[in-house]
Chain A
Amino acid sequence: MTATTVVHTPEPAARQASGGLWRAVRHNRKAMAGAVILFVFTVIATFPGVFTTVDHPDELAFPPGLSPSTGHLLGTTGLGQDVYSQLIYGTRESLVIAVVAGALATVLAVLVGVTAAYLGGIADDVLSMLTNVVLVIPAFPLVIILAKYAGKGSLGVILVVLVFTGWSYGANQLRAQALALRNRDFLQSARVRGERRSYIVVFEVLPNMTSLIVANFLGAALYSVLTAAGLQFLGLGDPASASWGTMLYWAKNQEALQSGTPLWAIAPGLCVALLGVAFALVNYAFDEIGNPALRPVRRRRRER
C-alpha cells in the first residue's frame, strides 16, 4: 500500500533476526572457519598489490621452473611466471565468478520458484515444468557445448552459462517452501487485510525464506566455483585470463607434475578447494543453525 507501512513494519523483525543470526554464526565453529576463509580471499581479491610485489604476474619475467625460495615463495612456472603472484591475482576472478554467478542464479531461482508457487494454476505448471526440464538436462556437457561455441569462454560467457545451468535446483526447493508457506495464518491475515500480492510476496513470504535463499546462494556459489574451474581447466575459458582454473590449464598443458614444478598445479587447485570448502562449511553450518537437531551434541549443551 503506502510506502510508509511498507518500510517500517518488517524492520524490527529483520534486525532481530540478523542479530540472532550473527550470534549463531559466531558460535558455530564451521561457520566461523568458512567465514574467515571467505574474508581472507575477499581482502586478497580487493588489494592484490599488497600481497605481492609482482605487478604483471602473466609476464614471463623469471627463469622457468625455479624451486620455492624467498624471492619466489612457490617457485616459478615452467613458462617463467611467479606462481605465488599468479595465485594472488587469480583470486579476484574466481571470487567474482562465485559471487556473481551464485547471486544471479539465486535471484532467478527465487523469481521462478516463488512466482510459480504464488501464482499457482497454469503459470505454476509451466514454470515448474521449465524448472524440471533444465534440472534434468545434463548440465556439465551442456556447459561444455555452450562455453566452447560462445567464442573463447570470456568471463561474461562463463557467468551466463553458470547461471543458466545453476538456477533450477534452487527454484525447485524454493517453490516447495513457498507452497508450504502459502496457507499459513500470517499470510491469510495479510490477504484479509487486503495487501497487494507483490507486497505479500516481498515483505511477508521472502523474509520467511531467508535461510533457504542464503543456503541456495551458497550452494550455487560452490557449484560455480567448481564448474568454472573445471571449464577453465579443460581449456574452455580464456587462456589469457588470470584465474586459478586457467593456471591449472597451463600447468596441465605444460605437464607441471611431470617436470618438477608440482606446486604450479597443487597451489591453484588447493585455492579452488579452499574457496569451495568455505562455501560448503558456511552452508552446512546454516543447516545446523536452522535445524538445531543437527548440531554437534556437546556444543548444544554448552549453549544452553
Chain B
Amino acid sequence: MRFLLRRLGFFVLTLWAALTLNFFVPRFMPGDPVAALTARTRGRVSRDALEQMLTSFGYKPDQNLFVQYVEYLGNMFTGDWGRSIGGQLGEPVTGLIGQALPWTLGLVGITTVLAFALGTMIGTVAGWRRGGWLDSLLPPVFVVTSALPVFWVALMLIFAFSMNAGSVLPGTFNYDNSIVPGFSPGFVGSVLQHAVLPAATLLITLIGGWILTMRNNMITTLAEDYVRMGRAKGLSPRRVMYGYAARNAVLPNLTGFAMSLGFVVSGAVLIEFVFSYNGVGYLFYNSVQNVDYPLMQALFMLFTVAVLAALLIVDIATVWLDPRARSADAGGR
C-alpha cells in the first residue's frame, strides 16, 4: 500500500513538474507568438491586428501569469487544449495531434519493439555461446552503431538509397502525395515504402544497446547457481537458456525498455525532421519554432504521460515476470 501511494505521488509530482517547466520556460524567455507570426507574415499585417487575431484563438498576453497558469493546469487535465496559434492557425490542437500520432506510433512504436525483441534475442544467443563467432564479432560492431548520431545515419541512408544512383526508396514524407489516402493496396504499399528508411535508421541506432546489455546480463546470469543447477538436472540446453538464464537476464532491461517505449512518442524528433515525416515529433519541432504555446504544451504533456504510462506497465510486468517483486513490495521499495 505504501509502495502504491509512493508511486502515485511520484507520477503526480512528475506530471506537475513537466507541465510547470513547460509553461514557464517559454514565457520567461525572449520571443512571443505575435513576434513569430509577424516574422512569418513578413510584417505585412500590423502587430495589433495579429494580436487581436491570436486573442480570438485564446492567446492572453495581458492576463496575470499566475491566473493563466492555474487555468492552464485545469485545461490540460480536462482535455481543453485550445487552438493552435502557430503554423496551422486556429486548428484545434486535439485534431492536429490526432492526425500526427498514428504515424509516430506506427513507425517509431513498431520499430522500438522490434529493436528490443531482436536485440534481446541476438544478445541471448551471443551470451549463451560465449566465445563463438557471434560473441566476438558483436560487441565492437554494436558499440560503434549505438554511438552514431541518429540524424546523420538518416542522412546517409537518404544519400545511399533515395538519391543519385539508387533512388529506390523515398526519403521524405509519410506517403506518396499523388495517392489518395485509404485502404487501397497502392496507398498501403506507399506508406510501407516511405517507412523503410526511417525505420532502418532507428533500428540501426537502437538495436546495439539492447544486444550489448542483454549479452552482458546473460554472461552474469550464466554464472549463477540456479543455472548450474538447471544444467545439472539434465534439462535441455534450450530450456536452461530461455527458462533459466534469459528470463532472469532480461529483467534489468525491462525498465529501460519501458522508458524507451515512453520516449517513442517524443524521441523521434530528429528522425521525423530529417525525413519530413509528419508525426508528433515533427509537429513538436514546428510548434517550438512557431512559438505555438497551446500545441507545444499539449504535446509535451502527452510525451510525459506516455513515459509515465510505460513505467506503470513495467511495474506490472515486473511483478508478473519476477515473483520476488510480489513479496518485496510490502517492504516499501
A132 cross-chain contacts in B, Cβ below 8 A: 10, 14
- A292–B216 Cα gap in the complex (Å)? 11
* Complex contact A148–B288 (CB within 8 A): yes
Interface residues on B, range: 35 or more
* Complex contact A287–B216 (CB within 8 A): yes
**Does B3 reach chain A (CB closer than 8 Å)?**
no
B216 cross-chain contacts in A, Cβ below 8 A: 287, 291, 294
B220 touches which one: A151, A277, A284, A293 (CB < 8 A)?
A293
**Does A121 reach chain B (CB closer than 8 Å)?**
no
**Distance in Å from the Cβ of B26 to the closest Cβ of chain A?**
5
Given A133-B14, A145-B22, residue A277 in contact with residue B143 (CB < 8 A): yes
Given A276-B147, A293-B223, residue A141 in contact with residue B17 (CB < 8 A): no
**Distance in Å from the Cβ of B199 to the closest Cβ of chain A?**
19
Contact residues, B117-146 vs A (CB, 8 A): 130-131, 135-136, 139-140, 143-144, 146
* Complex contact B269–A273 (CB within 8 A): no
**Does B300 reach chain A (CB closer than 8 Å)?**
yes
* A contacts with B, residue count (CB < 8 A): 47
- Encoded as 1 (CB less than 8 Å from any B CB) or 0, chain A from 238 to 280 comes to 0000000000100010000110001001100110110011011
- A148–B25 Cα gap in the complex (Å)? 10
* Complex contact B148–A273 (CB within 8 A): yes
**Does A40 reach chain B (CB closer than 8 Å)?**
no
Contact residues, B280-323 vs A (CB, 8 A): 284-285, 288-289, 296, 299-300, 303-304, 307-308, 311
- A270–B155 Cα gap in the complex (Å)? 11
- Encoded as 1 (CB less than 8 Å from any B CB) or 0, chain A from 90 to 125 comes to 000000000000000000000000000000000000
- A230–B281 Cα gap in the complex (Å)? 14
Q: Among the listed stretches B47-55, B61-69, B85-93, B156-164, which one makes contact with chain A, having 4 or more residues with CB under 8 Å of it?
A: B156-164
* Complex contact A257–B155 (CB within 8 A): yes
B135 cross-chain contacts in A, Cβ below 8 A: 296-297
**Does B270 reach chain A (CB closer than 8 Å)?**
yes
**Does B152 reach chain A (CB closer than 8 Å)?**
yes
B300 touches which one: A141, A270, A281 (CB < 8 A)?
A141
A144 cross-chain contacts in B, Cβ below 8 A: 269, 284-285, 288
* Complex contact A149–B31 (CB within 8 A): yes
- Encoded as 1 (CB less than 8 Å from any A CB) or 0, chain B from 224 to 244 comes to 000000000000000000000
Contact residues, B1-55 vs A (CB, 8 A): 10, 13-14, 17-18, 21-22, 25-26, 29-31
- Encoded as 1 (CB less than 8 Å from any B CB) or 0, chain A from 5 to 44 comes to 0000000000000000000000000100000000000000
Q: Which residue of B lies closest to A283 (CB)?
A: B143
**Distance in Å from the Cβ of B303 to the closest Cβ of chain A?**
4
**Does A83 reach chain B (CB closer than 8 Å)?**
no
* Complex contact A149–B26 (CB within 8 A): yes
- A170–B117 Cα gap in the complex (Å)? 26
- A226–B149 Cα gap in the complex (Å)? 6
- A141–B25 Cα gap in the complex (Å)? 12
* Complex contact B139–A293 (CB within 8 A): no
- A233–B29 Cα gap in the complex (Å)? 22
Given A138-B307, A294-B219, A298-B131, residue A252 in contact with residue B155 (CB < 8 A): yes
Given A233-B270, A257-B158, residue A273 in contact with residue B163 (CB < 8 A): no
* Complex contact A146–B25 (CB within 8 A): yes
* Complex contact B304–A137 (CB within 8 A): yes
Interface centre among A150, A222, A252, A277 (most CB of B within 10 A): A277
Q: Which residue of A lies closest to B223 (CB)?
A: A293
A151 touches which one: B29, B143, B265, B288 (CB < 8 A)?
B29
B288 cross-chain contacts in A, Cβ below 8 A: 144-145, 148
Q: Which residue of B lies closest to A297 (CB)?
A: B131
- A201–B147 Cα gap in the complex (Å)? 33
**Does B111 reach chain A (CB closer than 8 Å)?**
no
Q: Which residue of B lies closest to A265 (CB)?
A: B155
Cβ contacts A to B, 26 pairs, < 8 Å: A30-B143, A129-B13, A136-B259, A136-B304, A137-B18, A137-B304, A138-B267, A138-B304, A140-B266, A140-B269, A142-B21, A144-B269, A144-B284, A144-B288, A146-B25, A149-B30, A226-B150, A229-B152, A233-B270, A257-B158, A257-B163, A266-B156, A266-B159, A269-B156, A273-B148, A296-B135
- Apart from A144-B288, A281-B140, what are 20 other A-B pairs with CB-CB below 8 Å? A133-B13, A136-B304, A136-B307, A137-B304, A138-B18, A138-B307, A140-B269, A145-B26, A226-B149, A234-B270, A248-B152, A248-B155, A265-B152, A266-B156, A266-B159, A272-B149, A272-B152, A273-B149, A280-B147, A284-B212
Interface residues of B, Cβ cutoff 8 Å to A: 10, 13-14, 17-18, 21-22, 25-26, 29-31, 130-131, 135-136, 139-140, 143-144, 146-152, 155-156, 158-159, 163, 212, 216, 219-220, 223, 259, 262-263, 265-267, 269-270, 273-274, 284-285, 288-289, 296, 299-300, 303-304, 307-308, 311
Interface residues of A, Cβ cutoff 8 Å to B: 30, 129, 132-133, 136-138, 140-142, 144-146, 148-151, 222, 226, 229-230, 233-234, 248, 252, 257-258, 262, 265-266, 269-270, 272-273, 276-277, 279-281, 284, 287, 291, 293-294, 296-298
